[in-house]
Amino acid sequence: MARMKFLCDAERCIACNGCVTACKNENEVPWGVNRRRVVTLNEGVPGEKSISVACMHCSDAPCMAVCPVDCFYHTEEGVVLHDKDMCIGCGYCFYACPFGAPQFPEAGVFGMRGKMDKCTFCAGGPEKDLSQEEFAKYGSNRLAQGKLPACAEMCSTKALLAGDGNVIADILRDRALKRGKGTEVWGWATAYGKPDHPQQQAPNGAKS
Amino acid sequence: MTKARKLVITVAALAVAAGLAGCGEKDQVIAYHQGKYQGKPDTPPWDNAPSASIYTTSTWTKGDKSSWETAIKSRTQYQNEYTRVE
């Protein structure tokens, strides 16, 4: 069984916000709602690290546990989705989520806090697949088109990986082995591995 | 075989069985069954034909979960440039 997950390689993320833009564009999410965002730690300090954060599609999701109207469900491929027709916009899921994934539009049927909106792993929602209704409520359904989430597929440095947890973990493991270093150093060669040809060698310096 | 020896073998076999039981992996993904949550049913992605989208390059058999998973896995490998560029 596939277990869809996101994985962000902090050694590679350059905080370009391409994933945020790709998500906004693909799903046409309203102003004020950010299904994905980039977080930078130790900003401005050499060796700063950035990661792209959205719903992590937890296997044992706390949002599902606290929802008073039971509007969340897990798809067979391990994606956490919800039914917006049932959501009452109470915000419990926002407090329960350790990643701040649930977002609330500023205007909606419930006054200032509308129905919850979050990353769907580009898997749409409980409406007819690839329909106008599904797109309007939940955004694009790329999984039904045999595609992966737009954020990961658009990532320029391939820092953000999406797919079956086992497959993307193998990709990251492969990278880490090729780098041959841990997280104590940073720079081009750390992120992309050692060059095969001497003429492509990274410039000498403190970076790596 | 003496009674005591039989008892020892039985206890040992039970201990091995109990020990190995800890090695099993429980399914960590909650299986989705309609009716388990209050909302509307959703269609699995593999129940759509690949031709439903004009831009997709993935191919799978409509309704076949494993072929869709294979298509997604091969697409996932495009994120691994170590296998793309040699």
∠ CA B68-A168-A156, nearest 5°, is: 100
State how far residue B62 is from chain A, nearest Cα, in angstroms: 10
Average pLDDT across chain B, whole number: 82
Written as six digits, the tokens of A80 are: 């956490």
Tell me the CA end-to-end span of chain A in Å, nearest whole number.
40
Residue A144 has pLDDT above 80, yes or no: yes
Residue A129: CB atoms within 10 A of its CB come to 20
Q: Dihedrals φ, ψ of A160, to 5°? A: -90, 120
Predicted pLDDT at A149: 97
Q: Among A77, A144, A174, select the one facing B52 at the smallest CB separation.
A: A144
Contact A104, A83 (CB under 8 A): no
> Nearest chain B Cα to A179, which residue?
B82
Residue B42 has pLDDT above 70, yes or no: yes
Using only the alpha carbons of chain B, give its radius of gyration.
24
Is residue A168 classed as helix, strand or coil in its secondary structure?
helix
Contact A145, A122 (CB under 8 A): no
Q: Among A86, A152, A155, select the one facing B39 at the smallest CB separation.
A: A86
pTM attached to this predicted model: 0.79
Predicted pLDDT at A208: 47
CATH of domain A4-174: 3.30.70.20
Q: Which helix (H) or strand (E) holds B11?
A: helix B3-21
Residues in B touching A73 (Cβ below 8 Å): 32, 36-37, 39, 42
Tell me the per-residue pLDDT of A77-109, one tens digit each, with 9 for 90 and over: 889 999 999 998 899 999 999 999 999 887 655
Q: Among A123, A126, A144, select the one facing B41 at the smallest CB separation.
A: A126
- What is the rounded CA–CA span in Å between residue A7 and residue B31? 23
Average pLDDT on A166-170 reads 90
State how far residue B15 is from chain A, nearest Cα, in angstroms: 31
Average pLDDT across chain A, whole number: 85
Q: How does residue A160 score in pLDDT terms, banded at 50, 70 and 90?
A: very high
Written as six digits, the tokens of B27 are: 């399914």
Residue B56: CB atoms within 10 A of its CB come to 18
- Say yes or no for a CB contact (<8 Å) between A130 and B53: yes
Q: How does residue A51 score in pLDDT terms, banded at 50, 70 and 90?
A: very high
ipTM beyond cut 0.90:
no
Buried b (16+ CB within 10 A) or exposed e, A104-114: bbeebeeeebb
Average pLDDT on B57-77 reads 91
Residue A65 has pLDDT above 60, yes or no: yes
